[in-house]
Structures are given as structure tokens and as C-alpha cells.
Chain A
Amino acid sequence: MKNISSKYYVLLAGLPLAYLAIFYFYPLIKIFTVSFLPDEAWGPGNLKKLVTSGIYLRTLWFTTWQAVVSTVLTLLLALPGAYVFARYQFRGKELLRSFTTVPFVLPTVVVAAAFHSLLGPHGLVNAVLMKFFNLISPPVAVDQTIALILIAHVFYNYTVVVRIVGGYWSRLEPGLTESAKMLGASPAKVFFKVTLPLLSPAIMAASLLVFIFCFSSFGVILILGGPRFATIEVEIYRQAIHLFNLPMAAALSLVQILFTFALMWVYTQLQRSRSMALKPESRAVTQKKIDSGVDRLILATNVGFMILFLGLPMMSLIIQSVATETGVSLGFYRALFENATESVFFVPPADAVFYSLGFSLAALLIALSLGVPAAVFLAGPANRLRSVLDPLFMLPLSTSAVTLGFGFILALDKPPLNLRTSPMLVPLAHTLVAFPFVVRSLLPALRSIPPKLREAAALLGAGPWKVWRTVDLPILGRALVVGAVFAFTISLGEFGATVFVARPQTPTMPLAIYRFLGQPGAVNYGQAMAMSSILMLVSATGFMFIEKFRVTHGGEF
């Protein structure tokens, strides 16, 4: 029995491995070879600086600590939100969940503008505070500080914790906590001794993703933090694009990749030993209606926080998109459809929406078809192959878009892989960063499936495929939706790699926004804000749509 299934398992890993080999490792190896082999154009001579200059060590240190602090803050603020989504039934829940995911797709420049109009020296918050407390100078001065970087990281990653931990939490049977309560444990004790340990696989998965995102943060650092802050990713970009020091950029990429791999290896080892099988419960059992004052308070506090913290910046974007010189109007939206300059690159915004949705759907499908077998494989019994592949599958998440973009140019230049100018490169590249999310969302759920269920099914004569379809799939439903939403979202908002691989006739929404912001004049700015508002609306609709496709058989799941 065990031998047969391990053969299947290895086959499962083949597909995602082949994909990574072609679209990730091959381009990376190409770019590293060119960078490190002495040639008339690129010499490794400048690499000495990496060890002799303190700058790069400082960069690594800053990159790490800001990521740790960002992750802790995100967890603290988002865990209550995850609880609310996991345990309560209330009206507008699906809408609220979709809404919390929107920040994830917003381009950094747009978020910067939103935060500026909210927290800047003349922003809303300062204006209110100054009036209220009769102050002469603006009390909040966060622009270009580490505080704004941390706030933005929480803003972007709030949904990661809510989705992954909330999704897992909603399947935990309340029986254990009920018994603990009955035995006289205080609520705090129940939380720390029972709930938290049970949740730890999901919390770890979410923290890891948030950490990796903040570790390889680019736009937030560059645009919100200002030039005084640099993560490794920012330094790679600077070296490759502006200083023409490709060897240095490649070396830094390698440092980033190795660092992530080591971290991920420790994490996956840890997670494997921690996960435990649970009897998954349906929503009817785990979720309750709001009936006490405490429930109402908890719900109100969290919804209030989400609306203030995530909603206000988004609101200020919408306000800017309708605020013209002549008052409130839809002028900027109308302007989106006019090709004022008769430019050949003008693409009607409806088309950019269409391309974005199409690319995201394609990326979602590829990511799911790679991520599901990968996760099923990884969930199997521990062995050496798994302990290497698990962290390996996560690497694309923290690989600099510049490095990979250059690698594509070198690697994909001959048939049958002559994809350098193909629009298919967009969903292919997006899949690289979306697929680890699918794996991470599925793994905790897969590992929580009691092996007995599978064994029973197998004993009754079900083949491995049938076991998977009748036991695993129904339980995986919700985790699959979480993975799908993330794959879709990442693709919708992706900018760093898209700018390298997108072709001018098939721009995505973030690219269209950048184009408008590239020129002075009030109408261009207004159009960027209008396009951002459309991006928010489209992504929220997209998330609701995906949630509708939740696998529905097998009771709740």
C-alpha cells in the first residue's frame, strides 16, 4: 500500500518541478552564468565590494528586521479579524472578506498617493487632529519613515492572515475549547493552551508568506519609505538598472534566494512536526450567530478597524477619482475612453480590464494545476526529497523580478521556447509567484485530514485517485478557494515582472495606471485614480465570483 502510493506521489511532484525547471531555474542559471563568467561586457571584478563594504550587510540586516516587525504587527492586528470570519455568521460577510483582499492588488504608487492624502502633512488625519486639538503644525509625520513602511506592509498583508488562518480556524471543531471551558479554564488560558496550538500550522503558513513578502518588498520601500531605506530587492534593482552592475545584482539575488531557502527549510521542518490530524467540521457547527453583547463588541471592533484601516485609503482614492476642478464629476472616467493623443498605444480601459482578468484567470488555472499536485505530494510522509522540495517550491516568491526578467530574455530565445515576445509570458511569470500561495494554502488543510479516513477508503477498495476525490477534495474545498483567490489576486496586482514581459498592446490594469502617472497634468492623475478605482472594483467582484465556485458537494465544503 505504502509503496504504491509513494510512486504516485513522486509522479505528482513531476509536473510542478518541470515547470519550475523551465521557467525558473533555467532562466536563473542562464543569468548567473552570464553574470559570473568573465566576458568583455560583464566582469566579476566589482563583486569584492559585497564583502568589503558594510553597506550590503546593513541592507541584509534592515531587510530582515523590518520583515520580522511587519509580520508580527500583521499577525497581531489580523488574528482578531480571522477569528471574526471563522466564528461568526453575519450579513455582508462575503462582501467584507472580498473587500479586505482588495489592498493586495493595489499598485504601490497608488497606495502611496492614498496614504499621502490620508496621513500626509495636509492629509485628512492631520487636518482633523489639528482642528480638534487646536494644533499649529501637523502632529502625524509618517511620510518617508519606517512607520509608513510598516503600516503599508500591514495594509497589504492583512488579508493573508485573515484568509489563511480564518479559513483553517473555521474548520476547527469547537468541542475542544468547549471542554476546556467546562473544565474551568479562563478564556485567556483556553486561547493560549488550546486554540493557539491548534491554529499554529495555519498561523505559521500565513506568517511565512507575510515574512517573505516583506523580506522581498520593493515598491513599498522604494516609494513609501523613500530613498533612505533599501532592502536587498531595491539594491538589486539599483545595481542592475542604474549602475549596470549585473554581477553585483546577480550576487545579491543569489544571497536573497539562499537566505530564503534556508529560512524556508527550517520553517517547513518545523511545520511538518507541528501539524496534526483533526476532524474537520462544517460551518454550521463552527460558526455562530451574533447573540451576546460580547459578540457584538468583538464584531463591531474588528469591522470598524477593517473599514478605518483598509477602507479609508481606498475611499480617498475614489474621492480623488471624482474630484475635478469643477466639482464632483465622472470626467476622469469618461476621459479613460478617449484617445486624446491618438496614440497607437492607447488601449481602452475596458480592454485593460479584459486582459488583466484573462491573464489572472490563466495564471489561476496554471497555478492550481501545479499547486494541487505539489501540495498533495508534500503532504505525504516525511522523507528527504520532500524536505528539499518543500522549500524549493517557495523560492520564486522571493526572487527579484529584474533578475528573472533578464533571465527570460536569455533563456527563452529559441524555439520551442521562443516566448520572449509572447503575451503568454505574463500568466507564465505570474504563475511562478502565485503557485507557492496555492501550495501554502492547501498544505495545512491536507495535513489535517486524518489518515484513518484515507486508510478506511483504501481498505474498502478505493484506488488512490478515488480516495483523493472522495476524501481529500471535499475537505480541501475551502483551502482551494483561498489558494485560488490568492493566485488570482497576485496576478491582478503584479507589476514588477509584468513591466518586463507585458507587450504594449496587451497591458494590465496596473500597467495602465503607471502610464497615466508617467505624465504631468491633472487629467492624467485623475485618470490614474479612476483606473485604480476600477481595479479595486474589478478585483472585489472577481473575489466574490471565485468564492461562488467553492466546491459544494460533501456538505459544507
Chain B
Amino acid sequence: MKKIAWVILLGTAMSAGWLTPGIASADTSEIILMAHDSFSVGKAVVAEFENRHHVRLRFLKAGDTGAMLNQAILSKNNPMADVLFGVDNTFLSRALAADMFIPYRSPHLGDIPDELKLDPSYRLLPVDYGDVCLNYDRKWFAAKGLAPPARLEDLTTPAYSGLTVVENPATSSPGLAFLLATVGHFGRDGYLNFWKELRDGNVQVTASWKKAYWGSFSAASKGDRPIVVSYASSPAAEVHFADKLMEQSPTAAVVQKGTAFRQIEFVGILRGTKKADMARKLVDFMLERTFQEDIPLQMFVFPANKTAVLPAVFVKHARVAEHPVFVSPQDIAAHREEWIEAWTETVLR
């Protein structure tokens, strides 16, 4: 019995120890950034911001983008953070409609290309972008003597039957981005026809990017699909995270005109913040070179600021889509459910 009492004491002490630092404070020397689960930033970069403004930067991660945005909307009258990062262009209209951001025209907007600025009211400012596109297994195509895909139309030709794995747009954000690429490329009347042919060509559908990339893609797993829907920067990650040095990535991205969809991620100041001044400083900082140059190797996407210098592995192995397919955030908001439902009916049922 003594042993048990000891364990109980230990456990209580441990839980009590955590309780104290966790309670959110209204401390003025602290600012909270809410972000999705894939957000990452370097230690040195955070330290630079904290030292410059004598403030502590805290982070609140809240699941994937959809889950985070939902939580932010639910708590908009009593927000959990001061600044929100990670709303992308597929969620943009939804986020703006909830009326939970305050506008801010950062002086750094001049360094950001106009095509990334999708919110004319300046409530959500672009921070980074990444192109969702097809990736293929170089070795597999070389060994088969088959030309790698160059257009979306290639995927439905007989030679490519059974080669592709895609993510379910209803449960995966690259999956949704790729569906939007097909909507934009084939038009609202043509995309379902493409998907029907793809289904007849034995396309594999997975619930998540993880399952597609790590479970089915032949270049990254024991899977048998040499074509996967991923990002144009994934080949750079393959090189960066390889367990030995390599000259060329084992994978390549398809970036030809009309094959990719550009995901742009935005930052905004939450309306309920009591630290609007510091929030603006944080937004400025996230658009400045220090933060922007840290983005590629932290999150494997491209910085929005065009003056930011890219790391060597990005320059060499990451690609930018040449003319990504464009679908407006308004269209996405209005038709998202309809397109996903139609896709589900066509491909899965």
C-alpha cells in the first residue's frame, strides 16, 4: 500500500507542476500565434523577434488547417491567440466570411508578388506558397522505358493505367488542391469525365498524404504506384532528408503548365486581440527576410517575399509550377462541397 501512496503522490505532483505554467495569462509581454500542426520555425528566428521587441512568442497548434480554422471561428468572441497563421486559399473565403480578422497593410507587402495577394481587404496577408502537383519515381520510369507524365491528360492513357495514387479531397488538403487543379484545367463540365477515366484506369485513392506517400508511392515505400500527388518541393525534401548524400532526387515533380494548383498560406490578426500593436509587429516580422528565409527548410514551401534568398537544396531540387491552375477563393467557397460530393460519387461509389 505504501508503494501505491508513493505513486499517487508522484502523479499528483507531476500534474500540479504542469497546471501552473499552462494557464493562459493576459501578460502584456507575451504574444500567441495560433497555427496548424505542420507549422514550424527555427529557434534563432524566434529568439530574434523576442529580443527585438522584448516579448515572449508562444505558439498554439490546433490540428490540421480545417480543424484550426473551425476552432478559431468558434472562439472568435474570446480568441485563444492574437495572430493566426495557416489559412490557405481553399479556406480563404470561409475565414473572411467569419469576420474575425482586422485589416493591416504591412509595409513589407511591396516585396510580395501581387498574384499572391488574394484578399483585397488586407485582412489576410500571404506568407508562403507551395504547388500541389504530380511527383514520379525517376528510377521506375527509367527502368520501364516509359516517358514520365507531362500533362494531366497523360494519366488517363492506357500506358499509365494503375500507376497513380491520389488523396481523397474530402479528407486531405493536397487531395482537395489536386481536385481543384482538375476543375480549373478541365473546366466544371470536364473534370468529372477525367476522374471517371482515371477511376476506370484503376487509380488508387488514399485518405491522407501520409498514406499515399509512405504507403503507396514506389519511390518512398514498398508500394507499387510510381506517380503520387504531392508538392513541387517534395523532391528537395527527399534530398535534404536522405540518409546519405545524393546528387539527384529519386523523385521529380511535374510542373508543366496547367498541371498544378498553388496553395498560398496567409497570416491575419485576430479581431479580439488586446495586443494589436505587437500583433502587427509579429505580422511584419513574418513577412521579413529573416522569417521568410527560414520557411523553406522548416515547412518545405516557398517564401512569399521575393527578396528572400533560397537555400541551395531548394535552388537545385525544388521546382515552382510554371503556370499553376487558378480557381478563385470565392468559387472554391461556393462549390467546395458540391465538387467534393460529385467527386465522391464518381470515383468512390
Contacts and interface: CB of A to CB of B under 8 A. Distances in A.
A and B: bona fide binding partners: yes
Contacts of B18: 358, 422-424, 506
Given A362-B14, A409-B71, A524-B241, A109 B23 contact: no
B14 A242 contact: no
Interface residues of A, number: 80
B170 A238 contact: yes
A521 B67 contact: no
B215 A113 contact: yes
Interface string A346-380: 10000000000010011011000000000000000
A522 B243 contact: yes
A549 B64 contact: no
A422 to B, nearest CB: 3
A461 interface: no
Interface residues of B, number: 80
Interface in A231-249: 237-238, 240-246
A240 B70 CA distance: 8
Given A122-B222, A422-B23, A520-B230, A227 B171 contact: yes
B23 A418 contact: yes
A409 B80 contact: yes
A519 B38 CA distance: 9
Contacts of B24: 418, 420-422
B206 A226 contact: yes
Given A326-B244, A500-B67, A242 B215 contact: no
Given A113-B214, A122-B222, A227 B206 contact: yes
Given A34-B74, A227-B171, A523-B241, A361 B234 contact: no
Given A227-B207, A344-B43, A499-B37, A238 B171 contact: yes
B170 A242 contact: yes
Interface in A500-515: 500, 502-506, 514-515
Interface in B193-218: 204-208, 210-211, 213-215
A405 to B, nearest CB: 8
A520 B220 contact: yes
B22 A422 contact: yes
A465 B170 CA distance: 55
Contacts of B238: 520-522
A341 interface: yes
Interface string B73-89: 11100101000000000
B63 interface: yes
Contact of A421 (B10, B60, B210, B221): B60
B31 interface: no
Interface in B57-114: 59-64, 66-67, 70-71, 73-75, 78, 80, 94, 97-98
Contacts of A246: 70
B223 interface: yes
A120 interface: yes
A163 interface: no
A228 B348 contact: yes
A526 B241 CA distance: 10
Interface string B216-246: 0000111110000010001001101111100
A402 interface: yes
Contacts of A422: 18-19, 22-24
A222 B241 contact: no
Interface stretch (B1-9, B117-125, B257-265, B275-283): B1-9
Contacts of A280: none
A521 B313 CA distance: 13
A290 interface: no
Interface string A317-359: 0000000111000011000000101111110000000000010
Interface string A234-267: 0001101111111000000000000000000000
B112 to A, nearest CB: 24
A41 interface: yes
B237 A521 contact: yes
Given A523-B241, A525-B214, A424 B340 contact: no
A244 B336 CA distance: 10
Contact of A342 (B3, B43, B223, B243): B43
Given A228-B348, A343-B298, A243 B340 contact: yes
Given A242-B340, A526-B243, A362 B237 contact: no
B187 interface: no
B243 A109 contact: no
A361 B11 contact: yes
A365 B10 CA distance: 10
A551 to B, nearest CB: 8
B42 A421 contact: no
Interface string B312-349: 00000000000000000000000011001000100010
Nearest to A58: B349
Contacts of B14: 358, 361-362
Contacts of A361: 7, 10-11, 14
B246 to A, nearest CB: 10
Contacts of A344: 40-43, 45-46, 59
A514 B210 CA distance: 9
A524 B237 CA distance: 10
Given A243-B337, A243-B340, A325-B243, A227 B348 contact: yes
A339 B8 CA distance: 35
A112 interface: yes
B215 A116 contact: yes
A522 B10 CA distance: 39
A413 interface: yes
Given A421-B22, A521-B238, A410 B75 contact: yes
A514 to B, nearest CB: 8
Contacts of A26: none
A344 B45 CA distance: 9
A424 B61 contact: no
B211 A223 contact: yes
Given A116-B215, A410-B74, A520-B238, A424 B19 contact: yes
A326 B242 CA distance: 11
Interface of A: 34, 41, 109, 112-113, 116-117, 120-123, 144, 222-223, 226-228, 237-238, 240-246, 324-326, 331-332, 339, 341-346, 358, 361-362, 364-365, 402, 405-406, 409-410, 413-414, 418-424, 427, 499-500, 502-506, 514-515, 517-526, 549, 551, 553
Given A117-B222, A409-B74, A414-B78, 7 more contacts: A325-B244, A345-B39, A361-B7, A406-B71, A409-B71, A504-B60, A514-B37
27 contacts: A41-B97, A41-B98, A112-B211, A120-B222, A121-B224, A122-B222, A223-B206, A226-B206, A227-B205, A241-B70, A242-B66, A331-B243, A344-B45, A345-B41, A361-B7, A365-B11, A413-B75, A418-B23, A421-B60, A504-B61, A518-B210, A519-B241, A519-B300, A520-B230, A520-B300, A522-B243, A523-B241
In the A-B complex, list the 7 residue pairs whose CB atoms are closest, starting with the nearest.
A521-B241, A422-B22, A241-B66, A227-B168, A362-B15, A520-B237, A523-B241
Interface of B: 1, 3-4, 7-8, 10-12, 14-15, 18-19, 22-24, 32, 37-46, 59-64, 66-67, 70-71, 73-75, 78, 80, 94, 97-98, 168, 170-171, 176, 204-208, 210-211, 213-215, 220-224, 230, 234, 237-238, 240-244, 297-298, 300, 336-337, 340, 344, 348
